[in-house]
Amino acid sequence: MMTELLDKLKTETVLDRDGYLSLIRNRAQIREYAAGLAGTVRDEVYGKKIFIRGLIEFTNYCKNNCSYCGIRAGNDKADRYRLTPEEITGCADSGYELGFRTFVLQGGEDAYFGDDILVPLIKDIKARHPDCALTLSVGERSYESYRRLYEAGADRYLLRHETVNREHYGMLHPGGMSWDNRMQCLRNLKEIGFQTGAGFMVGSPGQTDEDLADELLFLKELKPEMVGIGPFIPHKDTPFADRPAGTAELTLFLLSLIRLTLPDVLLPATTALATVDPKGRELAIEGGANVLMPNLSPVNVRGKYLLYDDKICTGEEAAQCIECLKTRVEKTGCEIVTDRGDHIDRKVRN
């Protein structure tokens, strides 16, 4: 019964809400079957290639107060830092030598990095590495700002919607943030032309199975080029310090459902997943993921970009990370490639 439902999802690439809900509720029996199907679909679309993105966490200043996040404005124990544009381009240069062809600039919502700083920085990175893609993940900005960043040469943008449920969003984001604005930002990014990434945390406080079924329906409708999901992990200096973490088991199952629902999607095995399960990245790849995002930030700041407790790989150099990942990926029968790794519909940007 449940395997038939998965076969139906593979063929039709969508189920109704009850269908997703029963898969989620009965996943214990079908986890391996789901992973196998999703791995096959990934192979059909992208082959056994795993794309790598060099993550540059360039500022941990943030004006927002998300209840789950360790770099929330209200956490006065966070040790704040900002990289200079020269340090950021230096990270990209060394990443290029290691085979990275996508760089991801991620940070808190830091007013210091206005368009006046980001636009020349994007142009500089793209001029130094014209064969590379540049991804931004710097939160909510105006339509005009997104347009300027795109015109400066940024190719992709990651903005997790965090939850499809408006009330749940309000519980996770006290203060000035709004679900409607988050969703509008995603639509704006797509309209401007970015390859756009949405996503959510698995097991965030207050999340229900129904919410997860709605996540899958929402993703099917939005059709983002990328989807980032990872388990919620508590951070000791946040309001959610005592809440339980999301599980690797549920995250892995949802990754497979996302691959079956959006066969073409670029789907990372996230650091948060690897933090809750040492085998998380390998299992995610076996279950349909095809992206890894190792850290390229300078080692002296890595221990400061702490969204959650016990984050892995905060002490290693990028070169060590890539060697470790190559070994892990080979064990799954896949292979890390030196490639921009664009979405299959978007190989050529016009």
How is the beta sheet containing 54-59 ordered, strand by strand?
A: 54-59, 102-107, 133-137, 156-158, 195-202, 226-231
By C-beta, is 137 or 332 nearer to ligand SAH?
137
Q: Report yes or no: 68 and 232 within 8 Å, Cβ to Cβ.
A: yes
DSSP state of 66: -
- Using CB under 6 A as the binding rule, whether residue 233 contacts ligand SAH is answered as yes
Nearer to ligand SAH, 261 or 270 (CB): 270
Candidate ranges 4-12, 41-49, 89-97, 228-236; the one touching ligand SAH (CB under 6 A): 228-236
* Binding track over 32-61 against ligand SAH, x by CB under 6 A: ------------------------------
Which residue of 235, 259, 281, 302 would you call a contact of ligand SAH, by CB under 6 A?
235
308 Cβ contact list (under 8 Å, min separation 6): 68, 69, 70, 232, 233, 234, 235, 272, 275
Give the shortest CB-66-to-ligand SAH separation in angstroms: 7
Q: Which of 177, 160, 307 is nearest to 227 (CA)?
A: 160
Is 328 an interacting residue with respect to ligand SAH (CB under 6 A)? Answer: no
Give CA 207 to chain center in angstroms.
19
d(CA 56, CA 270): 15
What contacts 284, CB < 8 A, 6 or more positions away?
A: 251, 252, 255, 269, 270, 273
Q: Computed from CA positions of residues 42, 43, 46, 52, in that sequence, does the dihedral angle turn out positive or negative?
A: positive
Question: In the window 90-119, what residues touch ligand SAH (CB under 6 A)?
Answer: 106, 108-109
What part of residues 171-200 is at the interface with ligand SAH (CB under 6 A)? Answer: none
Site string for ligand SAH, 268-287 (x = CB under 6 A): ----x---------------
Name the one range near ligand SAH by CB under 6 A: 9-17, 120-128, 210-218, 227-235. Answer: 227-235
Query: Which range binds ligand SAH by CB under 6 A, 30-38, 128-136, 154-162, 163-171?
Result: 154-162
Q: In whole angstroms, give the CA distance from residue 258 to residue 7.
A: 14
Is the CB of 109 or the CB of 286 nearer to ligand SAH?
109
Which DSSP category does 112 fall into? T
Closer CB to ligand SAH, 64 or 332, in the complex: 64
Binders of ligand SAH in range 289-308 (CB under 6 A):
307-308
Which C-beta is closer to ligand SAH: that of 109 or that of 155?
109
Q: Are strands 133-137 and 102-107 parallel, antiparallel or unpaired?
A: parallel
By rule CB under 6 A, what count of residues binds ligand SAH?
Answer: 19
d(CA 251, CA 233): 12
Of 106 and 332, the one with the shorter C-beta distance to ligand SAH is 106
- Which CB, 252 or 334, lies closer to ligand SAH? 252
Q: Residue 162 CB, nearest distance to ligand SAH (Å)?
A: 6
- List the structure tokens of 108: 């808190």
- Residue 331 buriedness (CB in 10 A; 0-12 / 13-18 / 19+): exposed
Footprint on this chain of ligand SAH (rule: CB under 6 A): 68-69, 106, 108-109, 137-139, 159-160, 162, 201, 230, 232-233, 235, 272, 307-308
